Structure formats: C-alpha cells, structure tokens
Amino acid sequence: MGRLKNKIALITGAATGQGKEIAKLFAAEGATVILTDMNMAGKETAAEISNARGDVNFVQMDVSKLADWNKVADYIKDAYNNLDILVNNAGIPGRGSIEEVTEDEWQKVMDVDAKGVLFGMKSMLPFLKKSKQGSIVNNSSIWALVGTGSAASYHAAKGAVRMLTKTASIEFAPFGIRVNSIHPGLVRTPMTERLLEDPKESWRIGPIGRAAEPIEIAYAALFLASNESSYITGIDLPVDGGYTAR
C-alpha cells in the first residue's frame, strides 16, 4: 500500500474494463485519480472507487478530440494544477485485413488508439513537467510487436503508440518524465469471453497457458507509474504470458 502516495494520476478509458482495474489499484495505492471516458458510467465508477479507496473524480471526454483534452487540462489546472502520472489506456479494436479495411475504419482506429495517445502526452506535458518525476504509461498491445495477418488498422495504431512512446521518452527525459508502453496479450474481460471459449482461438494464448487477469495488467502499469521504475524509460513491456517469447 502507498506506492503512489501523494501522486495525482489521470487514466483514460477508465469507466469499465482494464482502465477501471487500473484506477482501482492506483487509488488503493494512495493516488488521487482522475478517470476519463466517453461512457458516462465513469461517473458511477469514480463514486464506487472513491467510497472504497480514496479521492477519485470523473471527466467525460473523447480522447480523439483535442478540444476534450483541453477541457481535461482546464479541470486539472483548476482542481490540482499538477499531474504526476498519465495512463493512456483508452482504445478500440480494429478488424479486417489490409485488403478488407475501409478508410473510415482505419481512420477511426488511428484517431482513438494513436492520435488519442499523442494528444494526451501533448496536452498533459505542462503539468508533468512541473512534477519533476512524471510517468507516462501508454497501453499498446502485443500486436505492436508481432503480426497476425489481420486487424491491419489495430496493428498500425498500436505500432504507432509503441514508437510515439520511444520518441517521447527521449524528448521528455530532460524534464524528469519517464515514458513506457505496456503490451498486453489476451486479457480475460467480457469482450474476450467468446475468444476464450473458442478452441480455434487458442493460438492467442502464450506458454503460461491462460489469459491474463485484468489485475495483472494493472500491476504492470503500477510498477511503471511508481518511483520503483525510476531508471526505466522507453521500454516495451509485454504482459503476455510469454506469447512474444516464441
């Protein structure tokens, strides 16, 4: 407990699923948490976590809209005028091969999964500079590290997140800001239940032999957000049960 004591953290896509798990853990470890999402369920999530674990607030936003990031920046300035941790978790899936993907599908996935990360780092940078010990954790995917022959837009967007992370880690180092990316494999969530039940999808499972639980991804984010990783920046951290080791 207390690994994030006195830190302020912003987590995108945190109304449900993986983002909610990260928000719960960060609050339990002492952070003040600002969670954002397009889904207004984030308001109930913030109240639920706050009642159990501490100071948690919700701001509705679309990460692909710079105007919404500016709104969040105004909120942080008024409420805290500081930020120590940014977790760019929000993302959407993308389906279809290069032959199949449409322009609209490509643009939608790139806007949320890649441009959202760019806008997040850009708009939160002034606050993170003031922190002197800022940490940015970008949620990418193992599909930024290996190919599947499908999901062209998702591969491209998550690959962009990986390289944006490395570029930012160099640009932001003089300000005491570390930037790292997490690359989850298959995670057990309501969205993946169909995959987990289909024997034909077993190729998605790494040598450990099971899907990750959301808390296992959250603990990786916690490590990179905390001072325990103070000499780590610019890395790709696979949390994939050994999938990319093959």
Return the ∠ at Cα 225 (arms to 224 and 231), rounded to 5°.
Answer: 55
Strand ranges (E), the chain: 8-12, 32-37, 56-60, 85-88, 135-139, 178-184, 236-239
State the Rg of the chain over Cα.
17
CA dihedral (211, 138, 222, 174) positive or negative: positive
Q: Specify whether 154 is catalytic.
A: yes
Contacts of 232 (CB under 8 A, 6+ apart): 178, 180, 224
Edge-to-edge order in the sheet of strand 8-12: 56-60, 32-37, 8-12, 85-88, 135-139, 178-184, 236-239
CA dihedral (146, 152, 154, 158) positive or negative: positive
Name the catalytic one among 75, 80, 154, 243. 154
Catalytic residue list: 154
